[in-house]
Amino acid sequence: MTPRQATTDTRPEKSDYRQAVTLCIKEELEDGLAAWQKPWAGAGMPLNPTTDRAYRGGNAIHLMATGMSRGYEDPRWMTYKQAADNGWQVRKGEKGTHIEFWEVKDRSQDKESGNDQKSSDAASEKNGRRMIHRVYTVFNAKQIEGAPALVREDRTPFDAVQSGERILANSGARIAHDQRDSAFYNRASDSIHLPPKDAFKDAPGYYGTALHELAHWTGHPSRLDRSTLTDSYRFGDLNYAKEELRAELASVFIAAEVGVPHDPADHAAYVGSWIKALKEDKNEIFRAAHDASAATDFILGLEREVSRAEALEIASSQTPLAAESREQVIDAEVRHADREDAIREEITTLQSDRELVAENASLDKERSDSQPQRESSQVVARYESDTGTVAVHDKLRATDSHTPVEKTHQWETDWRAPVRTSFLAVTSTTR
């Protein structure tokens, strides 16, 4: 096999891509080497320099982890063909990294174009749509000869502080500095609670903690309505651990996007639950990364909206440079609109992915009638205080049932984050 044949851009899915990625991340978790188990010092958010688009969701976390493990300090990834089209060359013997892509096609369009044959890639059909799953091979810019040098934006600790403060202020979240040694998001009051800023070892430590809690805040029903937040009941609950995983991944994504440091502190309490969740469901890390990308986009989107409004106001108030400033703002809005289009496109394909996973979920898994069912790809379970039962809706069978239970859980609970090591180091000397 020639090097060119070994680096085909797209190919049939001969192996289980998601299972392979999940196994890799599970092993990294067990060894303490996962991207969100270490203070973020990576190359940045993975992006494709030929399309100027950032990778998202499971692809993003997979490329970040691969880049860290191989020592790449460049966030740029592209296919063999994309490199060749620009006159660059993948070095002989370089090993590529797989990513996935879901394409949704209308079946009627295939018939109109006469292209009604079956795809060689994994595919499914639902409601007249063909969902095609493709696995591509990409290479890091460090593996490619002729690629231009990476131009980095130098970020100082002062820049990180500015970014963190701006994001928190523009979010509109209610933040109270009323705690001594804990930081958490209170779901019932929809508010974030933190220690005073001067209780932290440094400013980046404070903003990293605050943004982690802001990621939880995005899951409120009035915002992203994330089930891992809204359907969790108490500390130790599996959904609780899954929600912490989403907040940790969002912290990593924000760190890569704007330079606010990610400090994982001590999350050993969750590692076992994360490993268990990944073992039981190969799709969980992809769902978690998708939700984390959505939370990141929501947080940064709020900050950009306010910043853009402020820029327009400043431009309109100036006289000599007003025209030039307005042109710059318009250009920025066009770039922002392009990014929003890309996000909407991915949300559509990822939703199709979720539907496909739900369709293929096992229907023969027996559940005890005496135990209330919990959230899964097949069922939704919610406690109803007025009847003292757990209402269970089976999404695949379209059936409902009610199971009486004793109310032994604290159904509305705080989202408490583990105490930060840096904070403990300070408070232990000041008590």
Q: What are phi and psi of 80, to 5 degrees?
A: -60, -45
Q: What pLDDT does 408 receive?
A: 46
Residue that is written with structure tokens 């940790």 in the block: 248
pLDDT averaged per 10 residues, the chain (length 431): 42 70 89 70 83 94 90 94 97 96 71 47 61 92 96 77 90 95 93 94 85 95 94 74 90 85 65 87 94 95 74 57 52 55 55 53 44 52 68 65 58 42 32 31
Residue that is written with structure tokens 């590692």 in the block: 271
Q: What pLDDT does 332 receive?
A: 56
Helix (H, G, I), strand (E, B) or coil at 123: strand
Please state whether beta strands 191-193 and 175-176 pair in parallel, antiparallel, or not at all (unpaired).
Answer: parallel
Q: What pLDDT does 341 receive?
A: 57
Q: What pLDDT does 86 receive?
A: 96
Q: What pLDDT does 396 receive?
A: 59
Long-range contacts of the stretch 243-247 (C-beta < 8 A, 24+): 243/216, 243/219, 243/415, 244/270, 244/417, 245/36, 245/270, 245/274, 245/277, 245/288, 246/215, 246/219, 246/288, 246/291, 246/292, 246/295, 247/212, 247/213, 247/215, 247/216, 247/292, 247/295, 247/417
Q: What pLDDT does 126 receive?
A: 58
